[in-house]
């Protein structure tokens, strides 16, 4: 079985696996660096929001706008799913 494999195919698979390994290592290191910054920042923002320190500020207004936008999208998707489910036709 092994003798019947095309050497070019084996070479391409080895190169693909090596590239995947490199991409995975770079992604993992990138996420490790990002999480070291994002997690503490998210905790501090959550505490500031909870204590009301960001009310009537530019950051608070931005967070409010993002939250309202997300809720609008969720409501539209939920409405679409509900209307499709009630129409009785399969979704393509």
**pLDDT at 63 (0 to 100):** 85
How far apart are alpha carbons 61 and 69 in whole angstroms?
12
How far apart are alpha carbons 63 and 82 in whole angstroms?
28
Sign of CA dihedral 66, 70, 72, 73: positive
CA distances in angstroms from 14 to 21, 27, 32, 65, listed in the order given: 11, 20, 27, 48
Q: What is the pLDDT of residues 50-60, one digit of tens each?
A: 888 877 888 88
pLDDT in tens, the chain (92 residues): 556 888 888 899 999 999 999 999 999 999 999 999 999 998 998 888 888 887 788 888 888 899 999 999 999 999 998 988 888 766 55
Q: Which residues contact 60 (CB under 8 A, 6 or more apart)?
A: 49, 54
| pTM listed for this prediction | 0.45
Containing H/E element for 84?
Answer: helix 58-87
How far apart are alpha carbons 15 and 34 in whole angstroms?
28
């Amino acid at each position: 079985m092994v003798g019947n494999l095309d050497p070019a195919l084996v070479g391409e698979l080895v190169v693909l696996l090596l590239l995947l390994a490199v991409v995975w290592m770079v992604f993992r290191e990138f996420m490790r660096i990002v999480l070291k910054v994002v997690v503490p920042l998210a905790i501090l923002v959550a505490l500031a929001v909870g204590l009301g320190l960001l009310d009537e500020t530019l950051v608070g207004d931005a967070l409010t706008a993002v939250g309202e936008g997300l809720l609008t999208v969720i409501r539209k998707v939920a409405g679409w799913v509900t209307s499709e489910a009630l129409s009785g036709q399969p979704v393509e």
